Amino acid sequence: MKVGIVGLPGSGKTSLFQALTRGAVAVDTLSSRSGRANVGVVQVPDPRLDYLAARYKPKKVTHASIEFVDGAARVTQDGGRARFGSDFFSDVRQVDALVHVVRGFESAVGEPATPLRDLQLLADELVLADLQLIETRMQRLEKQLHGVKKGTVTPASIEMGLLERLKSALEGGASLAGLELSHDEDRLVRSYDLLVLKPLIAVLNIPEEEITSPSEQTLEFREHCRTAGIREIEICAQVEKEISEFSDEEEAEFLSSMGISEPARNRLIRECYAALGLISFFTISEPEVRAWTIRVGSKAIDAAGTIHSDMARGFIRAEVAAFADVEAAGGWEEAKQKGLVHLHGKDYVVQDGDVIYIRFHV
């Protein structure tokens, strides 16, 4: 799963990327271009995994991970105006979620921050790109419908009706989430891969002095996102980047001296994971304690297949305990003795934090 870091020039995207990746692995590019985009694999911090690792001391501990991309989906500056080229949109299409970095500090050339305006600027561009896509599709359907008697119901006429509804919702500034769609319509909408439907997290890049006390402007931004249903996080990318360069011990010391329990980047990573619709389940074995990634709503059989295709093929039962129960009991065996490990069939819907052992035959 790829998360694209986007935003106006100089908003702090690269600083944030470096904080997230802690300077590690910054390689590769999006498939369409070379030498411009950096991709970093980032571990999803998870105190539950930390507990299991400390309890079982396995040879290996494997975190869930997601990828962040910086330097793709570039917005260029053209005489003070932001320009969104066609590259921007084709790059955005290739990522699964967007982190929109919005400048909340005075720029190097003394421009005051205008976070709400900047947020809207990019949002409007995404809407315009989707409208264009919708209109192109409508033109194609019109040709198909040419000569068909008015009022005749065909797949094309049904799709046309749907596109008209999408178009007027987008033009009216309404969210598509509010539309009531049938199962088939929903499938069609998904197939368009609309940009406005990509999960988006707004990151307000605040100046250092605001870490402890947010400004009026920041509070206004926060409130706007809350009422508009936009996921939002405030981060000082500069400071996060500096913290990320510390060793683990130095970092812990620094954070505790500031009275902070964890770096802001951890919250952002988890927020991205959730926005992508992902949850984790855990497996415990002697060689490895591991967090596995699946989509919300996945079943026990999917979990088995994530670990190994043989496990899905030979699936018998899943032994499952909620992480909280394992922790409270003091371990997996202990949870079992207390009757907290349950047997489930392949259709069991896996919950975030489940500790799972798959029974299977080969």
Ligand X SMILES: Nc1nc2c(ncn2[C@@H]2O[C@H](COP(=O)(O)OP(=O)(O)OP(=O)(O)O)[C@@H](O)[C@H]2O)c(=O)[nH]1
Rule CB under 6 A: which residues touch ligand X?
7, 9-15, 105, 108, 205, 207, 236-238
Q: Is beta strand 97-103 parallel, antiparallel or unpaired with respect to 2-6?
A: parallel
Q: Which stretch binds Mg ion (CB under 5 A): 5-13, 113-121, 163-171, 303-311?
A: 5-13
Which of residues 14 and 65 has its CB atom nearest to Mg ion in the complex? Answer: 14
Task: Render 266-289 in DSSP notation, one character per residue.
Answer: HHHHHHHHHHTTEEEEEEE-SSEE
Q: Does 14 bind Mg ion (CB under 5 A)?
A: yes
Q: Does 157 bind Mg ion (CB under 5 A)?
A: no
Quote the least distance from Cβ 216 to ligand X, whole Å: 18
Q: Cβ(200)–Cβ(125) under 8 Å? A: no
Task: Return the structure tokens found at 213.
Answer: 């006390």
Quote the least distance from Cβ 250 to ligand X, whole Å: 20
Please name the amino acid found at residue 353.
Answer: G
Q: Does 217 bind Mg ion (CB under 5 A)?
A: no
Quote the least distance from Cβ 12 to ligand X, whole Å: 3
Q: Cβ(26)–Cβ(40) under 8 Å? A: yes
Which of residues 11 and 283 has its CB atom nearest to ligand X in the complex? Answer: 11
Q: How many CA atoms lie within 13 A of 294 on its CB side?
A: 23
Which residues, including other chains, have CB under 8 Å from residue 88's CB and lie 6 or more apart? 6, 73, 74, 75, 125
> Which secondary-structure segment (H or E) carries 103?
strand 97-103
Q: Does 94 bind Mg ion (CB under 5 A)?
A: no
Q: Cβ(356)–Cβ(282) under 8 Å? A: yes
Which of residues 38 and 293 has its CB atom nearest to ligand X in the complex? Answer: 38
* Binding partner selected for residue 332 from Mg ion, ligand X, none, CB under the kind-specific 5 to 8 Å limit: none
Quote the least distance from Cβ 220 to ligand X, whole Å: 18
- Rounded Cα distance between 73 and 30, Å, is 10
* Binding partner selected for residue 205 from ligand X, Mg ion, none, CB under the kind-specific 5 to 8 Å limit: ligand X
* Binding partner selected for residue 40 from ligand X, Mg ion, none, CB under the kind-specific 5 to 8 Å limit: none
* Binding partner selected for residue 105 from Mg ion, ligand X, none, CB under the kind-specific 5 to 8 Å limit: ligand X
| Contact set with Mg ion (CB under 5 A) | 13-14
